[in-house]
Amino acid sequence: MNITYERLSIPDVILIRNRIFEDERGRFQEIFRKDFFTSLGIRFEPVQENHSFSHNKWTIRGLHFQRPPANQAKLARIVSGSLFSVAVDLRKGSPTFGKWAGATMHAGAGHQFFVPYGFAYGFCTLEQGTEIIYLSDHHYAPDLEGGVRYDDPDVAIAWPLGNETVTVNDRDAGFPGLSELDSPFSV
């Protein structure tokens, strides 16, 4: 396999690097290999692919999750631009409950970010015109979606913002903080 990976500060969250092959014709990259996840003991069988395009730098999307029985694991891949991806552990009883793991992803570097069940996912764009595609192993179910505030002081994500003003929609800005959330996940 032409895949390397790094388990982040929460070991269930994985930054994956797929090798990119380049020649005079252009580039080629394997995007998804089920056997890679199986080799890590992860059952991940995507059923839906989503595409997100953000016009502006410093756009924050998330932190999103989907409740059981349609809870989702996700594999996010950057297509253009760069972003900071974050997963927050929402599993009650987990030693990392309320903690986050994050990584900077760049287009052209082969980066992918795996988010397991029981985590909320979000990202902040670091360039204009950033695009991300992600695979989910359950279909989108709007009646089961939920979220956690991106700026919750209890989670204290170190977004790479400095004093920048962010673009965030009203729905994401209105999500509850972790202390107000009755998490549907447990270990």
Q: What is the pLDDT of residues 5-46, one digit of tens each?
A: 899 999 999 998 888 788 899 878 787 888 888 888 888 999
Q: What DSSP designation does 173 have?
A: H
Active site residues: 64, 134
In whole angstroms, give the CA distance from residue 65 to residue 88.
Answer: 10
Contact yes or no for 124/160 (Cβ under 8 A): yes
Residue 138 above 70 pLDDT?
A: yes
Domain total for the chain?
A: 1
Q: What is the reported pLDDT for 40?
A: 86
Check residue 41 and give its pLDDT.
86
Q: What is the pLDDT of residues 46-103, one digit of tens each?
A: 999 999 999 999 999 999 999 999 999 999 999 999 999 999 999 999 999 999 999 9
CA–CA separation, 2 vs 142, rounded Å? 36
Residue 67 has a pLDDT of: 96
Contact 148, 90 (CB under 8 A): yes
pLDDT in tens, 111-122: 999 999 999 999
Q: Label residue 6 exposed, middle or buried (CB < 10 Å: 0-12, 13-18, 19+).
A: exposed
Interval 123-147 mean pLDDT:
97
- CATH number, residue 125: 2.60.120.10
**Could you read off the pLDDT of 145-169 as tens digits, one per residue?**
999 999 999 999 999 988 889 999 9
Supply the range of the domain harboring residue 97: 3-186
Q: Residue 46's closest CA among 30, 64, 34? A: 34
